Every structure is written in C-alpha cells, then in structure tokens.
Amino acid sequence: MTHEVDLPSAWFEALVSGAKVPLGEALTIAERGGETARALLGRLHSRSGVAHIIGITGPPGSGKSTLVNELAIHFANQGRRVGVVAVDPSSPFTGGAVLGDRVRMSRASAHEGVFIRSAASRGFLGGLARTTHDFVRVLDAVGYDPIIVETVGIGQSEVDVWQVAHTPVVVEAPGLGDSIQAMKAGVLEIAAIFCINKGDLPDADAKRRYLRELSTRAEDRTPGWKIPVVTTIADRGEGIGELAEAIGAHARYLRETNRLHALEHERAIAEIRASLQTTFVDVPLARAARSGMLRRLADAVASREMNAADAASALTRHVPTDGRIGESGA
C-alpha cells in the first residue's frame, strides 16, 4: 500500500543509519499512530525481519528489569546494537508509562550500544502494549539486533509475548508463588528458556528441579529443543553469559529447522490483529470521545437506558471503517 505522507529524505536517511534522535522521533510517531505512522512503518517494513527478538516475561519480583539491564549490556559489549522495549503499566491519568525506562535500566541506557524505549500498556491484556509490534519493527529496520521485549509483569498472564518474540524467556524466582497455579495459567508453557533469577535465595534448588521436570514434559511440543533451565543472579551479573548462550542456541535451532518460518507467520497474524484492534476499536473510540458520542453512550449505559452491546452497535453504525464520526448522535 502506498501512503501520500511525505517523510523528509534527510531525516529518513539519518533514521535508517541508526541515529538515535530520529529513532526516538520515529518511535513517537509509531506510538501516536495515524497516516504518518502508517507511511513510516510501510517504508521500514521491507528493511525489517533481520533481528532476533527475545521476550522476557514472568511475575513481579522476579527481577526482570535487572536481568534485561545486564543482558542488554552483555550483548552490547559484544559490539551489537541492542534495542529494548520495556512495556510498562499505564498511568490511569495520563495513559503514559508509569515506571519509565531509564529509571529501571540506568546502566544499560548509558551504554552507547543500547537503545531503550518504554511502551505504556494502556490496559492491553497479555502483558504487551499495542505499540510493541510497531516499536520492534522500527528497531529491527534500523539495525538493532537483538531486540529485547520485557512485559509488564502483571502476574502469570503475559503469554502474548510469544506472538512478538522468537525466544521467550520465562523468569522465575524462588518463593514467588504456587507452581501449580503457574502451570495452570499457562505462562510456563510458552517458554523457550527457563531462567531462575535470584538463584542465591533459599528454595532455588527446588525451583530448579520443578522447572527441569516441566522442561522434560514439554519436549513433545519442541522437537529437537530441550528447554534449558538457567540460573542467574542478575544484580551481581552472574549467569548472564550462560543465559545469552542459551538464547543464541535457541536462535540457531530456529534457523536450522522450519520453526523460524512458522514463528514469523504467527507473528504476522498477531501484527494484523493488533492493527485491526487499532483501526476498528482504538481509533473509533478516540474519535467518538472527541465528538462527545462516547460520553452520551456511556451515560445511556450507566443510566440503564441501553446495554453495552447496543451502545457498541450504535457506535459502529456512526463510525464507519474509515474512522469518521457520523453526523447523527447516539
């Protein structure tokens, strides 16, 4: 698809050459959405598909941010340009990221070879922001490899990371909850690698035995790949090299089998779904809010004059697929 939005050629050339200022501006454009974002992402799309995407997920308190900080520095010290997308919970007042990237990853953010960007989840379930796919696409297209995506950490529900990452790393820590509940929730079922962080804490051995047993059970769904269990103490930098080696081994496994092609297909479907969510839900809701229509519908639902399903149907009738609000009210 062609887009009429004109992107300044000098700016675009600086972006694809890896300059950090236009990269930050490009990510802001992608986050805002609209025709400029579509034009930018359209031009970058053919340049992407090179980077290895690493997902870091797990429960709060497992030390994900510290682990990402050390892992990013490890790769950058090898001469690689590392992109980090840190998905944060949204402020209920501004919609912006609450924790912020450089607050949590000050060491990595100071490294010349690392670029970190926070993405507000804006209430999106699954631990990822709707902009995650676009952020990864931009970083990939301008030469960052690997790209690390850290999920919100809202418990055991961040299973959607497999839709964006080639290598999902599930981080656990000793003493962080019931293993049976974790298995029921399914977050452990998406792992390519298990990482026990804070491996110096009591019960680390018990956690290791449990995850190794789970790894054995999962072998039938990952033919040719036995999920490794890596122990780290991220705040001391211990075990980071072993984790990086496991990630590299998984990347080779994907390339040497047909799994990489299958993953790219699955990721493409997830990107299409995210785009549909934006086009048919986010944009119409935003425009309905600006027109006052959303407030009127909400008032009607709250006063029991109509139910939510009827309100949604009324909104779709007055917000056609091009996103424009109809002249008539709710």
Q: Is residue 326 domain-resident?
A: no
Among 231, 257, 283, where does a domain finish? 257
Q: Is 232 inside a domain boundary?
A: yes
Select from 9, 28, 46 the last residue of a domain. 46
Q: Could you tell me if 64 and 167 lie in one domain?
A: yes
Q: Is the same domain home to 142 and 203? A: yes
143 and 58 within one domain: yes
Mean pLDDT of 46-68: 90
The two structure tokens encoding residue 84: 């980090």
pTM of this prediction exceeds 0.85: no
pLDDT at residue 43 greater than cutoff 70: yes
> Per the domain annotation, does 15 fall within a domain?
yes
Q: What would the two tokens of residue 6 be?
A: 């004109």
Q: Which domain holds residue 31?
A: 1-46
137 and 29 in a single domain? The answer is no
What pLDDT is attached to residue 274? 76
Residue 325: inside a domain: no
User: Percentage of residues in the chain with pLDDT exceeding 70?
Assistant: 78
Whether residue 278 lies inside any domain: the answer is: yes
Do 56 and 25 share a structural domain? no
166 shares its domain with 71: yes
Same domain, 85 and 212: yes
Same domain as 54, residue 173: yes
Could you tell me if residue 152 is inside a domain? yes
Q: 74, 148 in Cβ contact below 8 A?
A: no
Q: Tell me whether residue 262 is in a domain.
A: no
Which CATH number characterizes residue 126's domain?
3.40.50.300
For 190-221, write each residue's pLDDT tens digit: 789 999 999 999 889 988 988 888 888 877 77
CB 55 within 8 A of CB 136: no
CB of 118 closer than 8 Å to CB of 135:
no
Listed residues 234, 257, 280: the one ending a domain? 257
Looking at the domain assignment, is residue 323 inside a domain?
Answer: no
208 and 312 co-located in one domain: no
Tell whether 85 and 197 lie within a shared domain: yes
> What's the pLDDT tens digit per position in 107-165?
777 788 999 998 765 544 443 556 888 899 999 999 999 999 988 654 444 456 667 88
Q: Are residues 145 and 285 in the same domain?
A: no
Structurally, how many domains does the chain consist of?
A: 3
Residue 127 sits in the same domain as residue 216: yes
